[in-house]
Amino acid sequence: MSEQQNVVVVGLGYIGLPTAVVLANYGSRVVGVDINETNVAQINRGEIPFVEPGLEEQLARVVAEGTLTATTQMPHGDAYVVAVPTPFTDNYEGDLSYVRAASRSIAPQLRGDELIILESTSPPQTTRKMAEHLIELRPDLSLDGSDGKPAIHVAHCPERVLPGKVMEELITNDRIIGGMTPEATRRAKALYATFCVGELLETDDVTAEMAKLTENSFRDVNIAFANELSLIADRLGIDVWELIELANHHPRVNILKPGPGVGGHCIAVDPWFIVSSAPEESRLIRTAREVNDSKPDWVVAKVEEAIAGMDVPVVAALGLAFKPDIDDLRESPAVEVTRRLARDIPHGTILAVEPHVAELPPALQGLKNVRFAEVLDAIKHADVVVLLVDHQNFTRLPKGILDGKTVVDTKGLWRQARLPVPSTHTSTLPAVATTR
Ligand code: SAJ
């Protein structure tokens, strides 16, 4: 593919917009398509609809140069990059309605010879289903040209970038290029080669889909191991952070960190796509999901244990984001813990703290006993402080501010304040429930 070809990016969300910007920045003429008119207008003004470090500067530049425009109407393109949501349904099957909607709007534009790449994280065989759907809608085209009809070239190239580091990882991460035909792989590789300096690894579409799901399941299973250890350590009265630190001194052991659960739109979702595609064989992957999904229950139980006997308890819940130092609250276990505390402690007050957002999220708005609070104010008024996200803001607290408070530290952030612990497990804070 020549660098000057037209690329249409379908879906201008957390992945689509940065991808569109990077493609435009590295020589393609890009049209971004989204159904959200407000976001489209914002993007055309060079403004970002969500926070991602480094994105706004590059967006403003490519919009000003005219190499990226956004629209709600699907145009013709030489290549299409589909980055639409693939959530799961109530029974944990992939909801492919957005992929199907994208196919429906792309199909009438096709003339033959286009490259169509699905980047959305998808259950195995989704790319094939998308290709079949396109051919159903356009029976005058084919997938390999063998029947004499003009061919379209379909591939799966999963996104693998870490929110917060997207602009860097889009360029540097290796990419998996899974074409349905060798020609589709060749063309997709040429497109990614315009901006990606990582290795471009060739495979087929289904293996590419599974590779992406496997990466996130690997992480989920390993976090579940850490979360399970935290429950075991608590039962045994030992410090899980010390335990993991010691075990990780072994040259072949690298245990991840426990926490209040697993959030975000990827790791908490993707393993279910493997489970639903092979339920009987996916026992470990399913159990890991269940272990991580049940961790918020345990945190809530610890807080309830800590407030037992108090007439009007005040609980400070520190952090709502799904991981540190970001404003993303999607599937956040911290929001879930805070919501359940509000429900289970109607006689008390929950002071919810999240320095990265301006107001309570919809899940917590309207709950009478939840107040949005600033961190120091919340801690000052609280009987119990539950640390749910290890934001940097929470490490730099005035000395002694936690004295006399009961602390439930799900991320081990304040463990240093309680050291030394190894011989006695005593604490300079009341030694109640830490996620240990
Ligand atoms: N978490 C822990 N303990 C840990 C590490 C993470 O409890 O030791 C929790 C986090 O607090 C968070 C969740 O897991 O709630 C997920 O966070 P994360 O930083 O591990 O991953 P995501 O969801 O932000 O991004 C992942 C990445 N996948 C992998 O690292 C294998 C990213 O590269 C993918 O592109 C992204 O999913 C995606 O879009 O699929």
* CA distances in angstroms from 203 to 157, 175, 412, listed in the order given: 10, 11, 41
223 and 193 share one domain: no
Q: Whose CA is nearest to atom 39 of ligand 1?
A: 266
419 pLDDT more than 70: no
Q: Structural domain tally of the chain?
A: 2
For 107-122, write each residue's pLDDT tens digit: 999 999 999 999 999 9
Q: Where does 97-204 have alpha helices with state H? A: 97-106, 126-137, 166-172, 182-192
User: Residue 60 and residue 374: Cα distance in Å, rounded?
Assistant: 33
255 and 164 share one domain: no
Given the residues 157, 189, 196, 266, select the one marked as catalytic. Answer: 266
Active site residue 212: yes
Q: Is the CB of 266 under 6 A from ligand 1?
A: yes
17 and 96 share one domain: yes
Cβ–Cβ contacts within 10 Å for residue 320, how many? 30
For 123-139, write each residue's pLDDT tens digit: 999 999 999 999 999 99
362 and 403 share one domain: yes
For 41-57, write each residue's pLDDT tens digit: 999 999 999 889 999 99
Q: Which atom of ligand 1 is nearest to the CA of 266?
A: 40
State the number of CA atoms in the 13 A half-sphere of 377 facing the CB.
10
Q: What is the pTM of this model?
A: 0.90
237 and 106 share one domain: no
Q: Is residue 432 part of a domain?
A: no
Task: Give the phi and the psi of residue 3 in degrees, each rounded to 5.
Answer: -65, -20
In one-letter notation, the amino acid at residue 79 is A
For 194-228, write each residue's pLDDT tens digit: 999 999 999 999 999 999 999 999 999 999 999 99
Q: Output the CA 281–ligand 1 centroid distance in Å.
A: 24
Q: Is residue 435 part of a domain?
A: no
Q: Is the CB of 292 under 6 A from ligand 1?
A: no
61 and 152 share one domain: yes
Q: Is the CB of 271 under 6 A from ligand 1?
A: no
Residue of 159, 267, 272, 329 to test ligand 1 pocket, by largest number of atoms within 8 Å of CB: 267
Structural domain range at position 358: 218-417
pLDDT at 163: 87
